[in-house]
Amino acid sequence: MPNHRSEQTGQPPRISVFWLVAAFALASTIGVLALRTERSSAARMWTFARLHYAMYVPAVEEWNKTNEPKVEVSLLGIQAVEQRMLSSFLTRKSGAELMEIERRIASRAFAGPLDGVGFLDLTDRLKAEGLDQKINASSFTPWSTRGRIFGLPHDVHPVMLGYRADIVEAAGIDVSKIETWDDFITVLSPLLYDDKGLRRTDRFLLNMWETHMDTIEVLLLQAGGGAVDPDGMPMLDNDANARVMAHIAAWGHGKDPIAGDAPYFSASGNRLLLEGFVIASFVPDWMCNVWRNEIPQLRGKVKLMPLPSWERGGRRTSVWGGSMLGISRDAENHDQLWEFAKHLYLSPELSRELYTKGDIISPVKAFWSDPMYDKPDAYFSGQAPGRMYINLATDVPPRYSSPFSLLAVERLRTIASRLASFAKAQGNATPESLLPEARRLLWEAQEEVMEHARRNRFITPLEGEGS
């Protein structure tokens, strides 16, 4: 007899594994087939933000009562939306008819030829209905490529500083004197020292770190820099970028560090905010809502103020985030979906919901006169955040999307890290002393990203582009 038998132990015969698994196979296949409903004629919509989802569900129910097509909204994680979006475009299997896309992801959709973009081109519709005038201009920029607009903007997202008014006012400091970043440091630096004149280790002025890519971009855009230019080409190597990067590194690791790391969107970061570890954080309109929900203990202790500008008379706000609603090019009933999209994004009811539930101001200029924006907010010590943000809305810098955005932003992230290490090594660094190195790193990065840009065969080479 073959000797393999000796390997089996003297166990009582049990059910053959094979038949066990086969039974599972049969049962589960029946289950799956039974559950497989015909892909209903409902239009699917994906979103990634819990807040948006909560608002859309009732709105969609309303729509479904009297309109076609019926819409089904699902909530997916942001990476999941990105992955599904890309897969559905690349495989032409329509994932969802409507996709709410965040800014960082949108640029991925633009990586191929113009007719490869998976979203419906909305430019003509927008112009025909005058929506391009009715909606805040800068809100369109992240969703456009090569002169065509592919998404309906959701928001404006101006950025202000949210600061610990209780600490600041207790020290007798008046923030209305602050106009530029230099002012900011000068006016608030007394808070860095304790009553004996010793430098505190548990207090910084600004919530900013080289790992916070979002806030780095906020500052870059404010200064007129950024990752890509209006034509979609990388523009890393410019004065504004260099200046901002040098400042950021000096603020974190220079001679007089004023920046501390209280990570945004983390429980530990929230704790640090409560402890007063950082005085001011970057607060776009939606961040108000995050704070309200996650750090209720700050109620009545914080206020908002416009961003200090980079030079006198300069821009006092920036932009952080943004979403759009895109219609899948492969969907069948574009006109109906377009009606739905407009209904969802541009209706006054929803814009009211957006503000009252989410603190987000509408991109539709006509709605800005709504009195709800002027309502005093107890969380922000009686200020009216809505109105404050609206006052900054037209000043919001444009930010451009391109297939190379992701790469360019990635490079910026690396540069921030490297500049930070350089500053630490240099010791006693100042923004001026770091400027040359910042310039050098940006130039290097620009070359690298241009390599990639030149390589892409699907983007028509633009005029004036050298090699």
**Where along the sequence are the contacts to another protein (CB under 8 A)?**
2, 4, 7-9, 16-18, 21-22, 24-25, 28-29, 31-32, 35-36, 48, 50, 74-80, 82-84, 86-93, 95, 108, 111-113, 116, 211, 266-268, 410, 413-414, 417, 448, 451, 455-458
Closest CA to 103 of 72, 76, 71, 141: 141
- Contact between 464 and 231 under an 8 Å Cβ cutoff? The reply is no
Q: How far is the CB of 80 from another protein (least distance, A)?
A: 4
Strands 98-102 and 323-327: antiparallel
Q: How far is the CB of 344 from another protein (least distance, A)?
A: 21
Comparison of 261 and 437: residue with beta carbon closer to another protein: 261
Comparison of 151 and 403: residue with beta carbon closer to another protein: 403
Comparison of 56 and 89: residue with beta carbon closer to another protein: 89
CB atoms within 10 A of CB 371: 9
Query: What do you get for the CA distance between the two ends of the chain, in Å?
Result: 76
Comparison of 11 and 66: residue with beta carbon closer to another protein: 11
- Contact between 257 and 278 under an 8 Å Cβ cutoff? The reply is no
Q: How far is the CB of 229 from another protein (least distance, A)?
A: 21
Q: How far is the CB of 135 from another protein (least distance, A)?
A: 29
Q: How far is the CB of 452 from another protein (least distance, A)?
A: 8
Comparison of 209 and 310: residue with beta carbon closer to another protein: 209
Cα 131 to Cα 209: distance, rounded to the nearest angstrom: 38
Q: How far is the CB of 271 from another protein (least distance, A)?
A: 8
CB atoms within 10 A of CB 58: 12
Q: Please state the separation of Cα 383 from the chain's center in Å.
A: 25
Q: How far is the CB of 399 from another protein (least distance, A)?
A: 20
Q: How far is the CB of 215 from another protein (least distance, A)?
A: 15
- Contact between 323 and 52 under an 8 Å Cβ cutoff? The reply is yes
Q: What Cα–Cα distance (Å) separates residue 100 from each residue in 52, 79, 122, 268, 339?
A: 10, 12, 15, 29, 15
Comparison of 31 and 427: residue with beta carbon closer to another protein: 31
Comparison of 354 and 445: residue with beta carbon closer to another protein: 445
Residue identified by tokens 């954080």 is 281
Comparison of 391 and 414: residue with beta carbon closer to another protein: 414
Cα 209 to Cα 212: distance, rounded to the nearest angstrom: 5
Peptide bond into 296 cis (omega under 30): no
Q: Please name the amino acid found at residue 3.
A: N
Closest CA to 105 of 88, 127, 125, 122: 88
Cα 419 to Cα 425: distance, rounded to the nearest angstrom: 10
Q: How far is the CB of 235 from another protein (least distance, A)?
A: 20
Q: How far is the CB of 107 from another protein (least distance, A)?
A: 11
Comparison of 161 and 407: residue with beta carbon closer to another protein: 407
- What is the rounded radius of gyration, in angstroms, for the C-alpha atoms of the chain? 26
Comparison of 68 and 444: residue with beta carbon closer to another protein: 444
Cα 99 to Cα 331: distance, rounded to the nearest angstrom: 11
Q: Please state the separation of Cα 322 from the chain's center in Å.
A: 6
- Contact between 159 and 318 under an 8 Å Cβ cutoff? The reply is yes
Residue identified by tokens 């089904």 is 72
